[in-house]
Structure 1
Amino acid sequence: MAKYRSIPGVKPKSPWSWQLFSTQSTKPTAWLAPFRQGALEAYKQVNEAIAARDEKTVKALSVGDQQGFYMKLLRSQDPRYINVWKFHGERTPCRVVSIRAFEAYFSPKPPRIGSRYAVQAVVRFDTLQSVETYSKKTGTRVGETEPKPVVEYLVFQKRMWNDTPWVIRGRLYEGLESRVKLPQYL
């Protein structure tokens, strides 16, 4: 990945750096620190968009089955109310649990930008969040949840030959590895 510049936002001097072994690091100097920051921002944006019924943002930040899941969640909300998703912070810093790259650009000509690789990263989010609900008619608050801890594992994907943002491709569940058949991505 480092040799083909497929680590997001990183231009390593050598593909044999010791930092290759710190992909799960939450230090600000880790190679994946800029990616983790971007993943957290995308996570917050997609949750805010779902609460606000913003289909355009959800479609821009997600693909595949995960986009379908988000759209179903968005469209299932009662139109008489306005929901506001609140991010209260991270309980622990988001962490890249796994990252992989694989060749996925099969044209005989090399891509004009980037590399032939698609990169997928599983990111663990451990956050505190809540939802406030307002009446659309009167604008008064009709409900609020207490901040609750939420742990999610999301699969982010980027096709390195496209100048597009990282998108949320899927979701994994802790402790279900033996019972869940993981989908093939791409």
Structure 2
Amino acid sequence: MPSIPRAPSPKMRMAKMPALPENATDADINDIRIKAQREQLRMVEAEAERGTRRKVDPMAVTVPLLALHIPQRILPLLQKGKIGVAGKVSFREVLEKLKDALHFWLASQHPVIPGMKKKPKLWHVYDIFSVRSLSAKRPLATLRKQAMESYIRMNQIEARGNLDELHAQVSEPLRSQIRERILKRGRSVVEWKFHGEVEPPKCLSLRMIPSIGIADLPESQAAVQQALFKFKTKQSLVIRDARGGSTIAGNDKPRIVTDYIVFEHKNWVPGQKWLPKAQMYDIPTSELKSS
């Protein structure tokens, strides 16, 4: 099989050897080679100065799940006599609140939280430590409302099985998980209904990265924020056959459902909203062990 000529690499251009005169001597040839090698070295150094990072399509960047945290209750551990575990959990909860406050302050320097304006470096302490607050006067009040609306919309999209809406309203990896469930159920008809809140939506944890290092983007546009929300609601789910008649699973009786959903905002995406990104699961207090 004849060999296929390779296209020159786009990363590095090669210095061209100039055409040799007919009467060129060995010394002339050697001098030309030295000049070509010097030119090649100059090109290598220039490439290094421009940086070796590849150009990245910002729209294709996927950010991993940050170190978000579901708070653990101390009282059940104390009631079961797990004093050592309770002490470690209590200490960890204090650290998590401090982390939330730090990341909330960082988020205020590149504000994308609805209704939040850039805050001074010496921000009110009560606001910094208000990540888990349910008060309508605190900075996350509008985001909590929007998160609930997005949570309801996400469940409605899954029930309808609309993959185009799913792509626009849900981020990865949760998008792929919902898509898999939609495809797996086939032509079954899903009826999902929201019957109201048991508790107001609550932000449990907040993390942000000031800049993820995307080339050619200013730092203010290369930031990413993630927030973990708890939803405790009443909802019903019925799955029927393809004709919408016989019930395959579920019933229309409301039941209490608790979900922990991570929302994400990418500053570099034009018109970006806070989108559901991932689902987390609580660890029962009884399973916590000292280590």
Q: Paired residue for 1:75, among 165, 168, 183? A: 183
Q: Paired residue for 1:19, among 98, 115, 127? A: 127
SS in 2 for 1:22: coil
Partners of 1:45 and 1:73 lie apart in 2 by: 16
Q: How many residues align?
A: 175
Q: Paired residue for 2:198, among 80, 91, 101? A: 91
Instruction: Determine the structure 2 residue equivalent to 1:152.
Output: 259
Q: How much is the aligned-residue C-alpha RMSD, in angstroms?
A: 2.5
Which amino acid counterpart does residue 50 of structure 1 have in structure 2? E
Q: Deviations over 1:23-78 (max 9, x none)?
A: 11111111111111111111101101111111112111222221111001111224
* Higher mean C-alpha deviation, range 163-172 or range 11-20: 11-20
SS in 1 for 2:173: helix
Q: Deviations over 1:81-110 (max 9, x none)?
A: 422210011111110000111022533442
TM-score normalised to structure 1 length: 0.82
Query: How does 1:1-186 map onto structure 2 within 5 Å?
Result: 1-15=107-121, 16-17=123-124, 18-79=126-187, 81-102=188-209, 103-110=211-218, 115-133=221-239, 136-137=242-243, 140=245, 142=247, 144-162=251-269, 163-175=271-283
Native 8 Å contact 1:60 1:167 kept in 2: no
Native 8 Å contact 1:132 1:141 kept in 2: no
Deviation at 1:135, TM superposition (A): 5.5
Partners of 2:254 and 2:184 lie apart in 1 by: 22
Partners of 2:272 and 2:113 lie apart in 1 by: 15
Partners of 1:49 and 1:108 lie apart in 2 by: 36
Deviation at 1:121, TM superposition (A): 0.4
Partners of 2:274 and 2:280 lie apart in 1 by: 17
TM-score normalised to structure 2 length: 0.54
Instruction: Determine the structure 2 residue equivalent to 1:182.
Output: none
SS in 2 for 1:96: strand
Partners of 1:41 and 1:7 lie apart in 2 by: 15
SS in 2 for 1:119: strand
Native 8 Å contact 2:109 2:119 kept in 1: no
Structure with bigger gyration radius: 2
Native 8 Å contact 2:227 2:262 kept in 1: yes
Native 8 Å contact 1:153 1:172 kept in 2: yes
Deviation at 1:125, TM superposition (A): 0.7
Partners of 2:164 and 2:216 lie apart in 1 by: 34
- Name the structure where helix makes up a greater proportion of residues: 2
Q: Which runs of 5+ in 1 are unaligned?
A: 180-186
SS in 1 for 2:113: coil
- Name the structure where strand makes up a greater proportion of residues: 1
| Cα gap change, 1:101 to 1:6, in 2 (>3 Å) | farther
Partners of 1:166 and 1:141 lie apart in 2 by: 38
Partners of 2:246 and 2:197 lie apart in 1 by: 25
Native 8 Å contact 2:232 2:259 kept in 1: yes
